[in-house]
Chains A and B, each alone.
Chain A
Amino acid sequence: MPRPRIFTSMDEAIADFPDNSSLMIPGFGPGQPINLMAALWRQGATGITSISNGVGFAAGAEELRGLGDLVMAGRVKKVIAAFTASTRPSRAGTAEELIRSGAVQAELAPQGTLAERIRAGGAGIPAFFTPAGVGTETAIGKEHRDFDGRTHVMEHALFADFAFIRAWKADTAGNLIYRRAARNFNPIMAMAARTTIVEVEQPIVEAGTLDPDQIHTPGIYVHRLIQIPEGGVLHVDRATARAILQVRYHDPVPEGQE
């Protein structure tokens, strides 16, 4: 297994992303590969199939362009998500009208089922049974089977051409550590793609520096690494929806609290 290739430009890291590719996009608030997504926006790929928790909204700023923007620009063929529409009648979701009109295909899944489909994809399991969604519209047309007196529905694994990942720390072997709730879908998506590309908050350290017991994603799943450069986006301020930029490097945790 060759070491992952380390990039210094987000645009170069995703330059060969072909049209009609499938893409895993993690994030639940924190943990989104914000800079790789903005690079994909600039790169121009179309016909994308996205796998993510939600479809999100179109961003106001260039550096925050994400899935919502790609959908609105007609560059997404299909979305697979736990939220394809707003739950507030007063605020329609980005993709709603495009999905309703058939311009964008959609596959709506319960969030735990979505997570397990991704985990299964990364674990070499083609399908599994879950009780979630039994007796609801999401289970219509799917195989049902009783186990221990309870009805379950069969769900299929998900695997993608690419995963864009946001990590806190990485080493040159590609080993990754996530921070707090920014972990969310990242570890399972990193395992469920042919090409896994990671943006890292902190400087990438030499292999052997990170404690093997503390690794969340082993480097054998990781193909490309890039530290978020100075001026790249670290977080989005929730009150103002403005980007919080990478200064030199970012270490929000005081010494001794890791």
Chain B
Amino acid sequence: MTEKQPLNRDQMAAVLAQRLADGSIVNLGIGIPTGVSNFLRPEQEIVLTSENGVIGYGRLAGAGEEDPDVVNASATQSVTLNPGAAIVHHADSFALIRRGLVDVTCLGAYEVAPDGSFANWKTTNEEWNNLGGIGGAMDLASCSKQIFLALEHTTRDGEPRLVKKCALPVTAPAGVTLVVTNIAVVVVRDGKFILEEHAPGYSAEEIQAVTGAPLEISPNFRQVSV
């Protein structure tokens, strides 16, 4: 029996990077997803866009490379610009998002359900009170062709984050197609969670035990390769 090795944040970002189709236009949200830019290979020809209007950025800037005016969606991490990069203002940045040019948006989340709905802007389900951190997530979620999520499989208290129905207010009522957690890779299709990959040492039964909705096991169920 392999020792249990849950994925760390970098490994989760690497899994997201593997799942991006060559030539995609991709938006990376704050958190684990912004790390994806370090795992893309030039031959994938992926164009990264950020809500702040940076189109065509690359990996995180190393020491001495930081430009205070070039940041990703976190607004604090310095990134590099790839050859061919372009900068637009905030309204034009969301114009390209709203028009549907973004193939995949990668976001962090608190909860996700098999219908493709997810929650990531409010940490409680208190009544609507204009409190929350939406950022660009709703625009991205409602207008991107696909949404990939990266999140811990359970809360700190061990409660499942993959659930039958989101208890927290949703960011979008549909659209999630892939969920990468620290122990599993789950495809979301036709109202179902399909378990495709597991972290080293985790069985399908163990993953199901900490998942709040039924998992269908993919015929191609395998260990993640990162």
Residues of chain A at the chain B interface (Cβ within 8 Å): 28-31, 54, 82-89, 93, 96, 99-100, 105-113, 115-116, 118-119, 130-138, 140, 179-188, 216, 235, 238, 244, 252
B141 and chain A: residue at smallest CB distance: A132
Q: Are A100 and B139 in contact (CB under 8 A)?
A: no
Q: Roughly how many angstroms separate A241 CA and B128 CA in the complex, as a whole number?
A: 33
Q: Are B132 and A84 in contact (CB under 8 A)?
A: yes
Q: Are A29 and B76 in contact (CB under 8 A)?
A: yes
Q: Are A108 and B134 in contact (CB under 8 A)?
A: yes
Q: Are A110 and B91 in contact (CB under 8 A)?
A: no
Tell yes or no: B41 within 8 A of A by CB. Answer: no
From B69, B70, B140, B171, name the one whose CB has the most chain A CB atoms within 10 angstroms. B69
Q: Are A96 and B131 in contact (CB under 8 A)?
A: yes
Partner of A112, one of B139, B169, B172, B173: B139
**Could you list 6 A-B pairs, sorted by A, with CB under 8 Å?**
A82-B133, A87-B120, A87-B123, A136-B172, A185-B89, A238-B68
**From residue 40 to 83 of chain B, which have CB atoms closer than 8 A to chain A?**
50-54, 67-71, 74-76, 78
Q: Are B139 and A132 in contact (CB under 8 A)?
A: yes
Tell yes or no: B6 within 8 A of A by CB. Answer: no
Within the complex, the shortest CB–CB distance from A3 to chain B, in Å, comes to 24
**Chain A residues with CB below 8 A from B128, complex form:** 137, 140
Tell yes or no: B170 within 8 A of A by CB. Answer: yes
Q: Roughly how many angstroms separate A55 CA and B142 CA in the complex, as a whole number?
A: 24
**Chain A residues with CB below 8 A from B98, complex form:** 112, 116, 130-132
**7 cross-chain pairs, A with B, having the tightest CB-CB distances, nearest first:** A112-B94, A112-B139, A29-B75, A180-B69, A87-B133, A119-B91, A135-B173
Q: Are B69 and A110 in contact (CB under 8 A)?
A: no
Q: Are A181 and B133 in contact (CB under 8 A)?
A: no
**Chain B residues with CB below 8 A from A119, complex form:** 91
Tell yes or no: B14 within 8 A of A by CB. Answer: no
Q: Are A137 and B75 in contact (CB under 8 A)?
A: no
Tell yes or no: B143 within 8 A of A by CB. Answer: yes
From A28, A54, A216, name the one whose CB has the most chain B CB atoms within 10 angstroms. A28
**Chain A residues with CB below 8 A from B136, complex form:** 82, 110-112
**Chain A residues with CB below 8 A from B69, complex form:** 30-31, 179-182, 252
B73 and chain A: residue at smallest CB distance: A28
Q: Known interface pairs A82-B136, A136-B172, A180-B69. Does A115 touch B123 (Cβ–Cβ under 8 Å)?
A: no
Within the complex, the shortest CB–CB distance from B152 to chain A, in Å, comes to 13
Q: Roughly how many angstroms separate A118 CA and B90 CA in the complex, as a whole number?
A: 10
Q: Are A106 and B87 in contact (CB under 8 A)?
A: no
Q: Known interface pairs A29-B52, A131-B98. Does A138 touch B134 (Cβ–Cβ under 8 Å)?
A: yes
Known A28-B71, A183-B88; 11 more pairs at CB < 8 Å = A28-B51, A83-B134, A87-B30, A88-B123, A99-B129, A110-B134, A132-B143, A136-B170, A137-B128, A181-B87, A244-B68
Tell yes or no: B130 within 8 A of A by CB. Answer: yes
Tell yes or no: B137 within 8 A of A by CB. Answer: yes
Q: Are A138 and B138 in contact (CB under 8 A)?
A: yes
Q: Are B131 and A84 in contact (CB under 8 A)?
A: yes
Within the complex, the shortest CB–CB distance from B225 to chain A, in Å, comes to 31
Q: Known interface pairs A84-B132, A85-B132, A106-B131. Does A30 touch B139 (Cβ–Cβ under 8 Å)?
A: no
Q: Are B129 and A136 in contact (CB under 8 A)?
A: no
Tell yes or no: B97 within 8 A of A by CB. Answer: yes
Q: Are A135 and B90 in contact (CB under 8 A)?
A: no
Q: Roughly how many angstroms separate A216 CA and B87 CA in the complex, as a whole number?
A: 11
Q: Roughly how many angstroms separate A252 CA and B68 CA in the complex, as a whole number?
A: 9
**Chain A residues with CB below 8 A from B201, complex form:** none
